[in-house]
Amino acid sequence: MELVTPALGLLFWQVVTFLVVLFLLSKFAWKPIMGALREREESIDSALTMAEKAKLEMQSLKADNERLLNEARAERERILKEATDAANHLVESARAKASEEGARMVEQARLSIENEKKAALTEVKNLAATLSIDIAEKLIRRELQDEQAQRALVQSYLQDAQLS
């Protein structure tokens, strides 16, 4: 039973040895160990702080990237809308120009046809007048071959002239 219950002398020397070891440890070992622990704790805290800052910076960068992406999308939509509007304007302008050109060509054709018609009518009138004169000349020559017929015709014209 002696092993289970230590003697009082043994207990005393164990306590003294423990206190000496405790004093030596506190004097020489605890300060460097505690300093190393404090230093490690500070480095862990600074690493956590840096990680938090990096996380916040990443969130800020992500927000900036999202904002830039949204601005780029808006710019793309604006450019597409401007391009579509410009294309529509060009198409409408081309349509209007083609319509005006068509109307101008139709008007020119109508004027040309009208001028050709007038020229043809004038030519027909001139031809009819020339033919009438030729026919009248031939008729008058035939009828006025004798002198008595000429006098009767002159008398008839004089009477018509006095009545008018």
Q: Where are the domains of the chain?
A: 23-163
Whole-model pTM: value is 0.41
Measured CA to CA, the distance from residue 41 to residue 35 in angstroms comes to: 10
Tens-digit pLDDT profile for residues 62-118: 999 999 999 999 999 999 999 999 999 999 999 999 999 999 999 999 999 999 999
Centroid of chain to Cα 62? 29
Question: Tokens 């026919």 — which residue?
Answer: 135
Query: Hey, what amino acid is at 134?
Result: D
Secondary structure, 3-state, 10-73? HHHHHHHHHHHHHHHHHHHHHHHHHHHHHHHHHHHHHHHHHHHHHHHHHHHHHHHHHHHHHHHH
Contact 37, 45 (CB under 8 A): no
Tens-digit pLDDT profile for residues 47-72: 999 999 999 999 999 999 999 999 99
What are the backbone dihedrals phi and psi of residue 71, each rounded to the nearest 5 degrees, phi first? -65, -40
Question: Tokens 């404090």 — which residue?
Answer: 38
